[in-house]
């Protein structure tokens, strides 16, 4: 169905039927997959696979033939530096938008938003799918707005109408969907005729995060999970290789953060009962405190008192969080931000752990928080190794290879352009 015909249909629908009958089904996007505008006919295809919690050194610790093959045929970064906080939602949405968390609005997996007068939480479907919580322009929105079709088998943000736009096809997150089914569906999308074939496809596996939290990064269970996701990646690689247009496909495999032992002996309880109106919204590797009573003049004294209680952990007023963490500019960030040393945590007294656990959320420069980035595709010189780089630089590179006009972002094309072997021209630095 052409866009014009579809628009006309919507008008007829609105005139003739009660409103409820015109509302599209809530899952998987509109029944009409839409078509690519003719100007994108020669654009390549990009498949992004996110492996939640795949720590950068798993590539060297555990056998992973498909990932090693990708490194051989393309580029591998020493590590990708996620944004702070090193949590799933902030990190994925920075990869998607090229913005630090202080600019894209997902400042944690859970946070209070004064502008919305509500809590965002990754388990709350209503907020997760409500685009008004999200700022910036994820790459699939950039593409859709420019007439290029996209499809998502999960990726943070793809379920929401960000700026009023969703991927042409998307799925409501359901961790029980087997990875094999996710891969098969993505390959089916890539086999579609060029008119409807999505140029950007996202895919997401949670296995390494699930198993890493439970058994720790140096465990046989993580080794087995690496082997399992690697086998699914192998199916994806083979499926792409069998496409008639295989030589136009980029495959990007990345992750959102690493994993580290949170030592029970280094957990610090923070008793907030002496401080009325102060609440901990998020605790652990970093903690976020909201101060509901008293004006801004109360904050320096509070900071000093809490710093004195905690000793080693750093306590900042939001506006004083060090520049390199890019975690100041949004009132959704706590009034006070606490950062524990790697391996240590700060929690409310009722959440004191009895045993060691495994988690993430620490300083994004911590090596164990490091993520992976590998890619192969047209123009990428095989066997390249690049140094550590920040995840916000992925968006401008994706926009570049897809031939899209990028939104203004924090990331810079200059960072990843060289992996294309000199064929790319560097864009203007972002803000
Ligand atoms: P965390 O380790 O707390 O940062 O969060 C990781 C969890 O996020 C994973 O176990 C996933 O089940 C969950 N997750 C990933 N993507 C989504 C999504 N789109 N909607 C809801 N939950 C998700
Ligand atoms: Zn994660
Ligand atoms: Zn996790």
121 lines ligand 1 (CB under 6 A): no
The C-alpha atoms of residue 108 and residue 111 are separated, in whole angstroms, by 6
Give the whole-number percent of the chain exceeding pLDDT 90: 89
More confident residue, 295 or 36: 36
332 and 115 Cβ atoms separated by less than 8 Å: yes
The C-alpha atoms of residue 413 and residue 430 are separated, in whole angstroms, by 9
| Interval 149-191: pLDDT, tens | 999 999 999 999 999 999 999 999 999 999 999 999 999 999 9
Ligand nearest to the CA of 254: 2
pLDDT-derived band at 33 (thresholds 50, 70, 90) equals low
pLDDT-derived band at 28 (thresholds 50, 70, 90) equals low
Strands annotated E in 184-335: 200-205, 249-254, 260-262, 267-269, 278-282, 286-291, 314-317
Which pair of structure tokens corresponds to residue 329? 């500019």
415 lines ligand 1 (CB under 6 A): no
| Interval 403-428: pLDDT, tens | 999 999 999 999 999 999 854 433 33
CA of 39 to the centre of ligand 1 (A): 36
Query: Pocket of ligand 1, candidates 49, 55, 88: which has the most ligand atoms within 8 Å of its Cβ, to mutate?
Result: 88
Q: What is the mean pLDDT of the chain?
A: 92
Helices (H), 64-166: 65-73, 88-97, 101-104, 125-128, 139-145
């Amino acid at each position: 169905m052409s866009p014009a015909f579809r628009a006309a249909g919507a008008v007829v629908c609105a005139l003739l039927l009660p409103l409820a009958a015109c509302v599209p089904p809530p899952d998987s996007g509109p029944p009409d997959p839409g078509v690519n505008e003719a100007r994108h006919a020669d654009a390549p295809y990009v498949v992004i696979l996110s492996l939640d919690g795949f720590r950068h050194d798993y590539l060297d610790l555990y056998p992973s033939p498909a990932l090693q093959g990708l490194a051989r045929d393309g580029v591998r970064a020493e590590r990708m530096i996620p944004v702070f906080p090193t949590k799933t939602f902030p990190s994925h949405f920075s990869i998607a938008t090229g913005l630090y968390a202080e600019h894209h609005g997902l400042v944690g997996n859970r946070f209070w938003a004064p502008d919305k007068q509500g809590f965002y939480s990754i388990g709350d479907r209503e907020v997760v799918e409500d685009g008004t919580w999200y700022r910036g322009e994820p790459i699939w929105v950039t593409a859709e707005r420019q007439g290029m079709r996209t499809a998502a088998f999960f990726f943070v943000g793809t379920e929401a109408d960000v700026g009023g736009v969703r991927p042409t096809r998307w799925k409501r997150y359901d961790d029980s969907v087997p990875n094999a089914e996710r891969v098969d569906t993505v390959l089916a999308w890539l086999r579609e005729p060029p008119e409807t074939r999505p140029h950007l496809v996202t895919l997401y596996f949670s296995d390494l995060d699930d198993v890493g939290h439970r058994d720790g990064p140096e465990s046989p269970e993580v080794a087995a999970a690496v082997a399992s996701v690697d086998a699914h990646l192998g199916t994806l690689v083979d499926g792409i290789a069998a496409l008639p247009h295989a030589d136009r496909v980029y495959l990007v495999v990345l992750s959102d953060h690493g994993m580290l032992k949170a030592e029970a002996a280094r957990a610090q309880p923070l008793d907030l009962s002496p401080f009325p109106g102060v609440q901990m919204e998020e605790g652990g590797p970093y903690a976020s405190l909201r101060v509901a009573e008293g004006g801004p003049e109360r904050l320096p004294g509070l900071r000093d008192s809490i710093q004195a209680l905690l000793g080693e952990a750093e306590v900042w007023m939001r506006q004083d969080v060090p520049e390199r963490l890019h975690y100041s500019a949004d009132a959704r960030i706590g009034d006070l931000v606490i950062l524990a040393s790697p391996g240590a945590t700060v929690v409310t007294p009722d959440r004191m752990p009895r045993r060691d656990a495994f988690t993430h959320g620490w300083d994004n420069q911590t090596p164990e928080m490091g993520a992976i980035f590998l890619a192969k595709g047209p123009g990428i010189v095989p066997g390249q190794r690049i140094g550590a780089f920040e995840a916000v630089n992925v968006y401008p590179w994706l926009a570049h290879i897809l031939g899209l006009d990028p939104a203004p972002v924090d990331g810079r094309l200059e960072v990843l352009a060289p992996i294309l072997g000199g064929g790319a021209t560097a864009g203007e630095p972002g803000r």
